[in-house]
Structure 1
Amino acid sequence: MSITSSTTGLSGRSVVVTGAGSGIGRAAALRFAAEGARVVLADLNADAAKAVAEEISEAGGTAVTVIGDLSDQQVVDQVVATAVGSFGGIDVLVNNAGVMDRMSAAADTEDDEWERVLRINLTAPFLLSRAALPHLLASGNAAIVFTASEASLRGSAAGAAYTASKHGVAGLTKSLAVMYRDEGVRTNAIAPGGTVTGIQVDVDREAHGPSVVMRHMGNAGRTATADEQAAAIVFLASDAASNVNGVILPVDNGWSAV
């Protein structure tokens, strides 16, 4: 990766990317940096985030890291304070961090699975969006991009907890889009299909939920790369999407069209 001049309006902008240490978040952070943006890398894994920061720095870009659990309000506040202190504000927020469930059907979903998935996938991005909004509004030309999922569009792509969390992300995306469109903040989401990332899925294939979900995977099409998802994120955050707001954009090789 080399740092090049920006044609997307992202050069010099302050961008927060969560889950930036690996997968789609890493790919997005690298793309934003290549566009000349200054990037806050938020992740639970300190070594992974540091490695991405070093990669960006070696290519001539600018990145800082914040390590911690984004469902913790103190970590959320630290992310916002770091972006404001390091780069003067927040222009783009990418709520990407998330976890999978065990593809459990509702009757088999235990409290810990439900609470963990909802807390990380839905509550954490809500907390960060709420904390970042004063600074996004001050920007006057800001964007929030969520990583939703194919599971935000249908009921056959994951278990009860993950599906509910990603439907919630889609609803939060649309609510933010309506509430703040006249104040200079656009909000959109990508809905990835199958993508090569480092997320591990603990699945009992003989259990009811996984056995049902697996029957529908034949329509999923080819598996995407993390960089293909990142390209859509950067587009939605860029001036090229200046009139795109409230969209849940499938990046799924047509799975949602089947």
Structure 2
Amino acid sequence: MNLGFEGKVAIVTGAGSGIGAAISRRLAEEGAQVVVADINADAAERVADEIRAQGGLSHHFAVDVTDAAAVEKLIGTVVETCGGLHLAVNNAGVDGVRKATGDYPLDNWHKLLDVNLNSVFYCMKYEIGAMLAGGGGAIVNMSSVLGVVALPIACAYTAAKHGVVGLTKAAAIEYARFGIRINAVGPGWIETPLSSEHRDIASSRRMEALQPMGRRGTPEEVAALACFLLSEQASFITGSYHLVDGAYSAH
């Protein structure tokens, strides 16, 4: 399937590994010039180098997406360096401690809301400005299956991911008439470095037993949906939230 990204400039945050890296690679394969952004400079450079080694066009930048001024500077640099901005995937995210709401640490609450929700607002704020100047574009915000269901002892993550869905819908309504489409994707239990940090063999088996498909998803399966939503093949899809969860939320 040709998604028609030739001549398009795309930025992906949290692109140094996992889902962000898979989306970056898929965008490049489909012809986009990809800006790989991550707080980890070495990881961003590694993914960009992989893309270039496969004949793709890529740049890499280190950015802390919780710093609004840094995000504004990054988007300005992308427009100046690449000639515009047409596609964006706001994917940066972190997990948190496992505590019940009454015991949840304040510092972890603020960190998760900053990275998983506030950063999406900062990115969209400046991406939308660049896209308006260029005549339109498409944005995908990475939520989670926890944007529609809840997980006990994960109140901050659940709240942030629900927030991403609401933010996506509000912005989509605001900018639909200006040629900017904005959607959210909700991955379920995906095999990524982030998910592996909080897992042992026993917990992995318990989680897999809860999956109707009997397995975790892959970053490439999420990338396929995200890139479709960015493409003109999804030209009448905006303000939507799309799950990639193997029917986990259908229980």
Q: How many residues align structurally? A: 246
Given the alignment of the two structures, is residue 219 of structure 1 paired with residue 214 of structure 2, yes or no? Answer: no
In the alignment, which residue of structure 1 is the partner of 2:181?
186
Decide whether the 8 Å contact of 1:66 with 1:78 is kept in 2: no
Q: Please tell me the root mean square deviation across aligned C-alpha atoms, in Å.
A: 2.2
Decide whether the 8 Å contact of 2:208 with 2:216 is kept in 1: no
Decide whether the 8 Å contact of 2:12 with 2:35 is kept in 1: yes
Work out the CA distance in 2 between the residues paired with 1:231 and 1:158.
31
Q: What is the aligned counterpart of 2:81 among 75, 78, 86?
A: 86
Per-residue deviation, 1:217: 7.2
Q: What is the aligned counterpart of 1:148 among 138, 143, 147?
A: 143
Deviates more, 1:190-199 or 1:7-16: 7-16
Give the 3-state SS of the residue equivalent to 1:199 in structure 2: helix
Q: What is the aligned counterpart of 2:240 among 243, 247, 251?
A: 247
In the alignment, which residue of structure 2 is the partner of 1:238?
231
Deviates more, 1:143-152 or 1:214-223: 214-223
Q: Any unmatched runs of 5+ in structure 2?
A: none
Matching residue's letter, 1:223: R
Q: What is the aligned counterpart of 2:43 among 37, 41, 48?
A: 48
Give the 3-state SS of the residue equivalent to 1:16 in structure 2: strand
In the alignment, which residue of structure 1 is the partner of 2:221?
228
Q: What is the aligned counterpart of 2:23 among 14, 28, 33?
A: 28
Decide whether the 8 Å contact of 2:9 with 2:32 is kept in 1: yes
Work out the CA distance in 2 between the residues paired with 1:137 and 1:104.
42
Decide whether the 8 Å contact of 2:101 with 2:153 is kept in 1: no
Change (3 A) 1:157 1:254: farther
Decide whether the 8 Å contact of 1:157 with 1:217 is kept in 2: no
Change (3 A) 1:201 1:27: closer
Q: Any unmatched runs of 5+ in structure 1?
A: 1-5, 206-210
Q: What is the aligned counterpart of 2:92 among 85, 92, 97?
A: 97
Work out the CA distance in 2 between the residues paired with 1:44 and 1:203.
20
Per-residue deviation, 1:78: 2.6
Give the 3-state SS of the residue equivalent to 2:11 in structure 1: strand
TM-score normalized with structure 1 length: 0.89
Change (3 A) 1:187 1:157: farther
TM-score normalized with structure 2 length: 0.92
Change (3 A) 1:243 1:174: same
Give the 3-state SS of the residue equivalent to 1:69 in structure 2: coil
In the alignment, which residue of structure 1 is the partner of 2:164?
169
